[in-house]
Amino acid sequence: MRTFALLKSPAVRDSLGIGVAVGAAGLAFGTAAVAAGLSPAQALFLSLFAFTGASQFALVGVIAGGGSLVAGVLGALLLGARNTLYGLRLADLLGWRGARRALAAHGVIDETAAITLAQSDRTSARTAFVTTYAVLGSFWVVTTLAGALATERVSDMDAFGLDAVGPAIFLGLLWPRLREGGGRAWLIAVAGAGIALAATPLLPPGVPVLLAASAALVALVRPVGTAPTTATEPAEEARA
């Protein structure tokens, strides 16, 4: 009964949906990798050990365009830098140490960070992270291999519209925060979207998203007249 109740929890339900939906996009990566000149084994290796979609697509995009492997790797590392920022936040939230923290570091990507940060307590956060990591990782590897092997039979994977899955999921995760976050949350969201749209025609794929994160600096600006919150305030309220 406890296992059944856990499967029905919002953390697991949402994580399963995200894992399956985004994991299916591995089909597109497998196809793009083989079309760029990689073997199915090389595409599978990238999905197993790199496991960050944007960086993987950036790498094969550079190779497909005639660029060097070094340039492709540098671009992939640049895009993957955002996962370091996610990791700093998730390390405190999940509270794992030692081998578990090292293993979890491999699973820190956009989707696992988003679903984990959306939880209200540590237990739910851990459940969401592990579920999303396991399901998305498994589907991503399997669909990468399927896409790579099917490249010769399916000429245009873009026709399936898999590239719309990720943005749709992030909008679904973002919307509740926008509704509850007030004017400042909307300001950050609109500023971030504006920066990304302005930079998209000028910069390589993925870089505009990194620049858009600078909109979050608005959150550091305290409204005029607002006193800083001290660590003693909650305790004083509790005594009252």
Torsion 77-60-64-82 (CA) sign: negative
Report which of 30, 27, 29, 33 is spatially closest to residue 54, judged by C-alpha positions. 29
| CA separation for the pair 202, 222 (Å, rounded) | 32
Q: Are 133 and 143 in contact (CB under 8 A)?
A: no
- Residue 240's Cβ-side half-sphere holds a number of Cα atoms within 13 Å equal to 6
First and final CA of the chain: distance in angstroms? 40
197 phi, psi to nearest 5 deg: -65, -40
* pLDDT of the residue at 216: 66
| CA separation for the pair 14, 8 (Å, rounded) | 10
* pLDDT of the residue at 236: 41
Report which of 175, 186, 194, 176 is spatially closest to residue 218, judged by C-alpha positions. 186
* pLDDT of the residue at 29: 86
pTM of this prediction exceeds 0.75? no
Q: Which residues contact 164 (CB under 8 A, 6 or more apart)?
A: none
Residue 197 buriedness (CB in 10 A; 0-12 / 13-18 / 19+):
exposed
What is the token pair recorded at 193? Answer: 């979207």
- Residue 155's Cβ-side half-sphere holds a number of Cα atoms within 13 Å equal to 0
| CA separation for the pair 67, 47 (Å, rounded) | 21
| Structural domain boundaries in the chain | 11-224
Low-confidence ranges of the chain (pLDDT < 70): 1-7, 67, 152-177, 180-181, 204-207, 209-210, 213, 216-240
Distance of alpha carbon 45 from the chain centroid? 20
* pLDDT of the residue at 94: 93
* pLDDT of the residue at 228: 45
* pLDDT of the residue at 133: 94
Tens digit of pLDDT for each residue in 198-210? 887 887 665 676 6
What is the token pair recorded at 214? Answer: 């600078």
What is the token pair recorded at 26? Answer: 């591995």
Helix segments in the chain, DSSP class H: 2-7, 10-23, 26-35, 40-49, 53-64, 69-94, 98-106, 110-117, 122-149, 165-199, 207-212, 233-239
DSSP assigned state of 154: -
59 phi, psi to nearest 5 deg: -65, -50
